[in-house]
Amino acid sequence: MPPSVIRASRFMGRLLVATSAVVGLVAVFVALIVATDGAGSGSAAWSAVVGIAVLAALWRGRRRSWRGRLAPFLPVLVAAALTLPVCVPTVPTTRHHPPAPAFVTTEHWRLSTGSRVAVYHYPATGNSPRQHDPLVYLNGGPVRGISVHDHRFLRRLAGQGYDVYAYEQAGGGRSDLLPMNQYSITRSVHDLGAFVSRLGKGRADVLGFSSGAVVLTRALADPATAAHLRRAVIAEPGPMDGPTARIAGQKGRPSARDIAPAMTGPRSTHVPRYAVAFGLMRLGLLSPDNGLVGQAEGDNALTAADLGSDTASAYCARDAHRIPVEDTARNFSFSAAASLRIQQTIKDSASLAPRLRRSRTPAMLMVAECSSQLRQWATTILADNPAVQRTQYMPGVGHHMWNGLGDNDRRAAAVITAFLQDKPAPLPDYPTRAGIPAFLRDHR
């Protein structure tokens, strides 16, 4: 065999060994991040890996020349350089709230539960008759700021005579953070009751969207909170309890997920630190209250582009190439850790059905044609809540039913206001409680 081939073979062999060592050290680092729950911003795992690797390199080079002793340190240096960015914050580690919006006054209310929430008020305008009862909006998230597009829809409802209030749930948007162990679906329900009580205007109508609809559904099953509610609009709900969360069900008509153009803009998930942290949290390998990335830092880091696929899943496939911009970079806010914590408390909760069956608050269910939610999440509420008086199947829209496209906002507002005013529904009552099996069988 020619000497050049031998040298090349030896070089490739050494390169393979070195590469394997680097990959192995990185894998051990990630494993230690999980084992230590990210202690010390990841420094505990990094120090342990580098320390062990240095000792191993010293042992391997103990009988070599000085040049040979340096060779084992190369994989250590490469692995240390690759893993160190995971331990270094690139955004502030104390919460930087979004600046106040210019189009509505931001107030901060301290609720009786201890939560300090950002509140927005849209007084009734326009020529429509003024409605006596206030309308409260619960946005999705679970812990997310109210988008600019949602604010536009709230202004539309105010223009139809409603005194509209909205608040960003604790930890979301401009509301204050809670200690991680205080986030729970029960706390969210109690905050709703405390908010309506703080309004001091008697009972309120409540519109809950997505995870906000889950809070509303559970509020209907809580007599103390339900006493503050006049009517409830449950729009595109998530799972209401543990048994529902474990359902393997079906979705609506195809959404724009995976076919819409990628959202532009910076992504925190392209930064090693946040890619590792959010990825491990989503897999359940890091707790929401982990020591790698704190709640405030995580909130500061996440951007709208990080949730691009989730945004696309809220629109019909036919709208994939005309998805509107729902929010601005300055207004966007999402807490992944707090949201995961609340979702976990839902998964861990017992069946809500026995309590929900005793609900007497008139309710309406809104279901989108191209919903990315499991159909059984909505139909279970319909089956278990005898106070659901009508169901409105919204054609031509995805999960985010008021989305600024065509006349979708007008149609959504018409459905909501007709129910709140106890007027005939603009759409057929579909699916009915008795028609749930056929609705699911027809994959509507």
Domain edges within the chain: 3-87, 106-263+307-441
Cβ pair 45, 33 in contact under 8 A: yes
Give the H/E segment covering residue 6: helix 3-36
Instruction: Please report which helix (H) or strand (E) contains residue 298, including its range.
Output: helix 295-301
The answer to whether the beta carbons of residues 160 and 417 sit under 8 Å apart is yes
Q: Is the dihedral of CA 92, 116, 208, 151 positive or negative?
A: negative
Q: What angle do CA 371, 374, 376 make, to 5 degrees?
A: 125
The pLDDT score that the predictor gives to residue 70 is 75
Per-residue tens of pLDDT for the chain, all 444 residues: 566 655 555 656 566 767 888 899 999 999 999 999 999 999 999 999 999 888 987 887 666 666 666 777 788 899 999 999 999 999 999 999 999 999 999 999 999 999 999 999 999 998 888 999 999 999 999 999 999 999 999 999 999 999 999 999 999 999 999 999 999 999 999 999 999 999 999 999 999 999 999 999 999 999 999 999 999 999 999 999 999 999 988 899 999 998 999 888 889 989 999 999 999 999 999 999 999 999 999 999 999 988 878 889 999 999 999 999 999 999 999 999 999 999 999 999 999 999 999 999 999 999 999 999 999 999 999 999 999 999 999 999 999 999 999 999 999 999 999 999 999 999 999 999 999 999 999 888
pLDDT of residue 20: 85
Tokens standing for residue 38: 């990210």
| Residue 217 near residue 192, CB atoms below 8 Å | no
Question: What's the pLDDT at 346?
Answer: 98
pLDDT recorded at residue 269: 87
CA torsion sign, 335 to 339 to 342 to 344? negative
The per-residue DSSP string of 122-189 comes to: E---SSSPPPSS-EEEE-SSSSBPPPHHHHHHHHHHHTTT--EEEEEPTTSTTSPP--GGG--HHHHH
CATH number listed for the domain at residues 106-263+307-441: 3.40.50.1820
pLDDT at res. 58 = 83
Residue 167 phi/psi, 5-degree rounding, is -140, 145
